[in-house]
Amino acid sequence: MKKVRRWGYSYIKLDFLHGGALPGRRHLDIPREAAYRAGLKALREAMGEYALFLACGAPILPSLGLCDALRIGPDVAGDWENTRDAVLLYNSTIPGTKNAIRTSIHRRWLDPLVQTDPDVVYFRSLECSLNDEQKSLLQDLALVCNFNATSDLPQWLNFR
């Protein structure tokens, strides 16, 4: 993290952090949440206080106080929901706009503790089957969450 900061990055997003809290053998014989938190603390200290640290795929409670922002929902997709996964398999954790909105709204209570990142995407014009009403819901959620970033490729964006 110190090297990443020397490269000039002040916004650092780390994903799949829940892996640090999975059951398994560790160097120290401590509970997995404590090991995860110790690792996160080392990362935070190496970043320094002037970096914005976004933790994604992270256990919520053990992350509080060590990151500036938390991804609070599943990935948004260009579809409202995947019928096979969401309806037939009843899997509410898969990427999709409906899941992202629902999960983000249910985790708004975290906002006084950490900046919430709903991973909303609403400018996308390619690989997107969302209708205008669904895109409008994403825009509203972005406003409520005070979120103003996107990870879409620039050529996929439509600012009309």
What average pLDDT values come out for the chain (160 residues) when binned by 10 residues? Answer: 95 92 90 94 94 93 94 82 76 79 89 85 74 87 77 67
Whose structure tokens read 């950490």? 114
For this structure, is 132 an active site residue? no
pLDDT at site 70: 92
Cβ-Cβ contacts under 8 Å for 61 (sequence gap 6 or more): 33
Of the candidates 29, 75, 85, 117, the residue annotated as catalytic is 75
pLDDT at site 158: 64
Q: Where are the domains of the chain?
A: 1-71, 74-160
Backbone angles phi, psi at 91, to 5 degrees: -105, 105
pLDDT at site 160: 54
Vertex 144: Cα angle to 117 and 76 (nearest 5): 45
For this structure, is 15 an active site residue? yes
Distance separating alpha carbons of residues 107 and 136, to the nearest angstrom: 20
pLDDT at site 121: 65
**Dihedral over alpha carbons 69, 73, 74, 78 (to 10 degrees):** -100
pLDDT at site 113: 93
Whose structure tokens read 């993290």? 1
DSSP string, 54-121: EE-S--HHHHTTT-SEEE-SPPP-SSS--IIIIIIS--TTSS-HHHHHHHHHHTGGGTTTSEEE----
HSE-CB for 32 with a 13 A CA cutoff: 11
